Amino acid sequence: MDTYPQHMQPKAPFPPEVRELIAGLKFHFRQTLSEMPLEVALLAMREAWKGCNQEQDVPPPPPSLLR
């Protein structure tokens, strides 16, 4: 049974842990995310992921995100 309110339902069928991350980001960072370009939000998420996965080699972001 899905416990997310209708307005928080993702557009794609993500696994529960991904839906939880999406809901948490929307709840805790709605204002911040609404004030920044998507490219900046994606770079920030990439840096956060790198900080949690330091042993893994991460390729550089696509040039389109670095404009």
Query: What local confidence, expressed as pLDDT, does residue 8 receive?
Result: 58
Q: Which amino acid is at 60?
A: P
Domain range annotation of the chain: 13-51
E strand map for 1-67: none
Q: Is pTM, for the whole model, over 0.75?
A: no
State pLDDT tens for residues 7-66. Answer: 655 566 899 999 999 999 999 999 999 999 999 999 999 999 999 988 888 877 777 766
CA-based nearest residue to 58, from 42, 49, 67, 9: 49
Apex 50 CA angle, 48 and 54, nearest 5: 135
Higher pLDDT, 6 or 45: 45
Query: What local confidence, expressed as pLDDT, does residue 16 receive?
Result: 93
Token pair for residue 20? 């939880």
Rounded distance between C-alpha atoms, residue 35 and residue 44, angstroms: 14
